[in-house]
Amino acid sequence: MFAKPATIRRKLTGAIMLTSVTVLVLTCAVFITYEIVSFRATMTRNLTTRAEMFAANATAAVAFRNELDATELLDSLRTDPHIEGACLYDANGEVFASYPQTMPPEEFPANPPKQGFRFEGSHFVIFQPVVQDSRWLGTLYFKSDLLAMNQRYRFYAILVLAVLGGSTLLALALSNSLQKRILEPILNLAVVARRVSEHKEYSARAEKRSDDEIGFLTEAFNEMLSQIQQSGQEIRQLNEQLEQRVVERTRQLESSNSELEAFSYSVSHDLRAPLRSIDGFSRALLEDGGLLLDERCNKHLTRIRGAAQRMGLLIDDLLNLSRLSRAEMHRVPVDLSSVARQIATELRQSETDRGVTFDIQDGLIVDGDSHLLRVALDNLLRNAWKYTSKHSTARIEIASKKNGGEHVFFVRDDGAGFDMAHASLLFRPFQRLHRQTDFEGIGVGLVTVHRIIERHGGRLWAEGGVEKGAAFYFTLWDRERI
């Protein structure tokens, strides 16, 4: 949102007034400081001159300690209302004449200096030596109030306030006049910008009122609005074209899905029938004509049957992989620990003579599709079961661990393992790292696991070594609860 015009005006007025007042205050401060210093110097000079004259006239009275003459001389100070006290000291520093006469001697400074002056609080005091023919006879003491100086201070304060007040009003009037010329183009630009921001009126244009930097800014703003308006029209056209393309691509995707369904149906029905015939007639030849055929022919028929059966398994795996990619997911809590124990029981029952230990961590609870996660875990466990079959004893572990901010699940075995140099081939369809004669399979199981983990927004990777076992790690989309 743009700032209100009044706020801009207040800011500009504040800046002008602050600058003006600061300059005036500094100027007045310098002026007052100069006047105070000058006045103090003048006051010091006048009192010093007067003290010198009194000291010269008091020479005889001090020399002969004539208290009467000294008192009459000091009494002449009553014409000066600012002199609050005065006295004459003899050569021993004792007061022998004072003004006013009623002021006790202890009111005057003891052990006075021969010469000097100083400001003491609200008074000014001066010590002037009484000298005759270069011989020091005593000291004259004056004590004056600072009433005149204080009156001058008050005058300066009134003068400064008057100057500041008048100058501030004048600066305010001038700033209002100048702001009208400077702010109006900016305010006009702000109004147009607000219309564009709040109502998306990209056809609005700001009026150019000057040829200075503000005028250049107005031209640039109007040019930007023109480009935005043109871009908006182009975007609308692109959106319309994109919507049309989406409709066409959706139609094509639906058609492709229909064709894929038809192909799956064809694979499921049309390809299975010839395979069943090949397998069935081969078995019939072996059963009915096995005695008539030599050993070589029987081996050929056995190989034909094996190939047909593997082809059937391949078709089944491809169909299952296709269904997994299209199946709708239902996210529910899944107990992987319980699922793993069920699969382990099935594996033990399939080969009761195997010495395999399953180490399954408790409480592996995740959110996901229960059917798909069971398929993934079944493939991983059967993979570990298969690749530990060459060992007399084996251990398969299902657990999880913390890795940074996420939980990582893994299935680990101590079986045949694999060469990490070929790890990138593990999750590619029909890629195998072991010979068919060593371990059966067509290379689709881990691809199925990878597809399921991806649909759950997770990652799948593997670590292993030749005859050092293998470990398959995976994550899911949520921070799993263990």
The per-residue pLDDT for 44 is 86
Residue 115 contacts residue 127 (beta carbons within 8 Å): yes
Residue 435 has pLDDT above 70, yes or no: no
**184: which residues sit within 8 A by CB, 6+ positions away?**
209
Parts of the chain belonging to CATH 3.30.450.20: 5-166
List, in sequence order, every residue forming a beta bridge with 138; answer none if it has no partner: 130
CA distances from 364 to 290, 452, 480 (A): 54, 18, 8
Q: Are 188 and 209 in contact (CB under 8 A)?
A: yes
Is 6's pLDDT higher than 60? no
Secondary structure tally for the chain: helices H, strands E: 10, 12
Rounded to the nearest integer, the mean pLDDT of the chain is 80
Q: For residue 277, give both structure tokens.
A: 């015939």
In this prediction, residue 447 has a pLDDT band, given cuts at 50, 70 and 90, of confident
Centre a 10 Å sphere on the Cβ of residue 300 and count the other Cβ atoms it contains: 13
Pairing of strands 470-474, 365-369: unpaired
Is residue 286 packed enough to be buried (19+ CB in 10 Å), middle (13-18) or exposed (0-12)?
middle
Residues contacting 450, CB < 8 A, separation 6+: 427, 460
Q: What is the pLDDT of residue 97?
A: 87
pLDDT computed for residue 292 by the predictor: 73
pLDDT digits (tens, 9 = 90+) for 87-111: 999 888 888 888 988 888 788 888 8
pLDDT of residue 345: 92
> For the residues 372-380, what does the mean pLDDT come to?
90
Amino acid code (one letter) for 66: N
Residue 397 has pLDDT above 70, yes or no: yes
The 10s digit of each residue's pLDDT in 247-275 is: 888 777 766 666 666 666 666 666 667 77
**305-359, pLDDT tens digit by residue?**
777 776 776 676 666 666 666 667 888 999 999 999 999 999 888 888 888 999 9
- In the three-class reduction of DSSP (H, G, I as helix; E, B as strand; rest coil), residue 454 is classed as helix
Give 31-66 pLDDT, tens digit per residue: 888 888 888 888 888 888 988 898 888 898 888 888
Fold of 330-474: Heat Shock Protein 90 (3.30.565)
The CB density around residue 132, as the number of other CB atoms within 10 Å, is 12
Cβ(459)–Cβ(414) below 8 Å: no
Global pTM value: 0.43
Q: Under the phi-then-psi rule, with left for phi > 0, alpha for psi from -120 to 50, and beta for the rest, what region is 212?
A: beta
The whole-number average pLDDT for the span 8-15 is 71
Rounded to the nearest 5°, which phi and psi values hold at 31? -60, -45
What's the token pair of residue 110? 């003891």
Tell me how far apart the 2 most distant CA atoms of the chain are, in Å. 175
Please list the residue range(s) of the chain that carry CATH number 3.30.565.10.
330-474
CA distance 137 to 168: 60
How many whole angstroms separate alpha carbon 482 and alpha carbon 463? 23
pLDDT at 432 over 60: no
Q: Which residues contact 388 (CB under 8 A, 6 or more apart)?
A: 356, 394, 396, 413, 414, 415, 416
- Once rounded to an integer, what is the mean pLDDT over residues 174-200? 72
Instruction: Provide the pLDDT for residue 477.
Output: 76
Nearest residue to 138 (alpha-carbon basis) of 81, 78, 83, 73 = 73
**Binning pLDDT at 50, 70 and 90, where does residue 2 land?**
very low
Cα 279 to Cα 225: distance, rounded to the nearest angstrom: 75
**Above 60 in pLDDT, residue 395?**
yes
DSSP structural state of residue 64: T
pLDDT in tens, 113-166: 888 888 888 888 999 999 988 888 899 999 898 887 788 778 888 888 888 788
Higher pLDDT, 44 or 179: 44
Q: Which CATH class is domain 5-166?
A: alpha beta
Planar angle of CA 451, 457, 458, nearest 5 degrees: 75
Tens of pLDDT, residues 61-78: 888 888 888 888 888 888
For CA atoms 465, 469, 471, 472, give the dihedral sign.
positive
* 209-235 pLDDT tens trace: 777 777 777 778 778 877 877 777 788
What percentage of the chain exceeds 90 in pLDDT? 12
Average pLDDT over every residue of 401-420: 86
Q: Is 397 left (phi over 0), alpha (psi -120 to 50) or beta?
A: beta
Percent of the chain with pLDDT over 70: 83
CA distance 434 to 446: 14
Buried b (16+ CB within 10 A) or exposed e, 414-434: bbbbbeeeeeeebbeeeeebe
Q: Model confidence at 480, in pLDDT bands (50, 70, 90)?
A: very low
E-assigned strand segments in 349-469: 355-360, 365-369, 393-403, 406-413, 460-464
pLDDT reported for residue 261: 62
